[in-house]
Amino acid sequence: MKYEIKGTPLPVVICELDPEETLITEKGSMSWMSPNMEMQTVGGGVGKALGRMFSGEALFQNKFTARGSKGLIAFASSFPGQIMALEIQPGRNMIVQKSAFLAAQTGVELSVHFQKKFGAGLFGGEGFIMQKLSGQGVAFVEIDGHVVEYNLQAGQSMMIDTGYLAIMDESVTMDIVTVKGLKNKLLGGEGFFNTKVTGPGRVWLQTMPISAVAMNIIPFIPAK
């Protein structure tokens, strides 16, 4: 497979597949494709289907296969931001935010990831359930806004506002800490909780979470 990511701030990834090569995608991800691309909707079993539902994805996935000759297929972003190509390798799983997954080679498996600490799931903004990418191959994910990457050393931590954590290595741990001071909580405008991530491993932060955009728009929506 060859691919090219084009455009900003609404990017698209254009993939060129070899004959009989297949990509797995989420429902509604395809933007345009060549006529020889064959689509097949699959469920992958009840357990996997329910896991995708809980992680913010559809119950079923689509497989697109290039029949007879090379094929072309494109996946466009649904929100201003970036599309990232992640190299997934055995033993180096990656955790991504809900609804980030666009498409992947067939060697990549998308599954549900539960936060080990209940507080991280209940108050973290990223949710108790995220998505895990495992196996081997290239996966394309959608990020809100610009991406900033940090490589945390063992024991090194970073505090993140709710919703700004987009991707992390599975080796990174995540927890929730409360903002100190009652005045800070009530008047600081930063909420009651922050997300704490601790290395070793990489984290990718996004500058424009769709949840934050929604909160900023609400005051301008006329009341019925």
Residue type, 201: G
Q: What is the pTM of this model?
A: 0.83
**Alpha carbon distance 202, 104 (integer Å):** 21
Domains along the chain with CATH numbers: 2-219 (3.60.160.10)
* Strand intervals (E) in 77-184: 81-88, 94-96, 101-105, 108-114, 129-135, 137-144, 147-152, 157-160, 165-169, 173-178
Residues 43-84: pLDDT tens digits? Answer: 754 445 555 555 445 567 899 999 999 999 999 998 999 999
% of residues, the chain, pLDDT over 90: 58
Can you read off the two tokens belonging to residue 188? Answer: 């600081």
Pick from 108-117, 157-166, 170-179, 211-220 the range whose average pLDDT is largest.
Answer: 157-166
For the stretch 115-144, pLDDT in tens is 655 554 454 444 557 899 999 999 999 999
DSSP state of 34: -
Strand order from edge to edge, sheet including 101-105: 37-42, 61-66, 22-26, 101-105, 137-144, 81-88
Coil, strand, or helix at residue 119? helix
**CB count, 10 Å around CB of 218?**
8
Amino acid making up residue 112 = V
